[in-house]
Amino acid sequence: MLACAGESDVVSTSTASETLLFTKENVETLPPVGSINGGSLLFVDISVPRNVGSCVSDVENTRVYNVDDLKEVVAANKEDRN
C-alpha cells in the first residue's frame, strides 16, 4: 500500500479499517511527488473511522481532506445557491 502511495499524487481512502492506514511516520518516508498537485501529495479520506491520521497534514507538501472538510464544502455550496 505504501509503495503504491509513493507512486501517486492523489491517494483516496474509503475502507472499514478500524486502524489508521496512513500515519505521519509512514507518510514522511514516501518519496517527493511530481508537480501535478503543486508538488503536494493529496489524501482524500472519506472513511469512517478515518484512514489517514490528522497529523499527516503536518508533513511538508502533504494535504489531507476528510469527510468533515467535504461537509463544509457542501454547506458552503448550499449557502451560495440561496
pLDDT confidence bin for 55, thresholds 50/70/90: very high
pLDDT band at 37 (very low <50, low <70, confident <90, very high): low
Whether pTM > 0.85 for this model: the answer is: no
Exposure pattern of 38-72 as b/e (b: 16+ CB <10 Å)? eebbbbbbebeebbbbeebeebeebbbbbeeeeee
Q: Which amino acid is at 74?
A: V
For the chain, domains (ranges, CATH) are: 1-80 (3.40.50.720)
The whole-number average pLDDT for the span 64-70 is 90
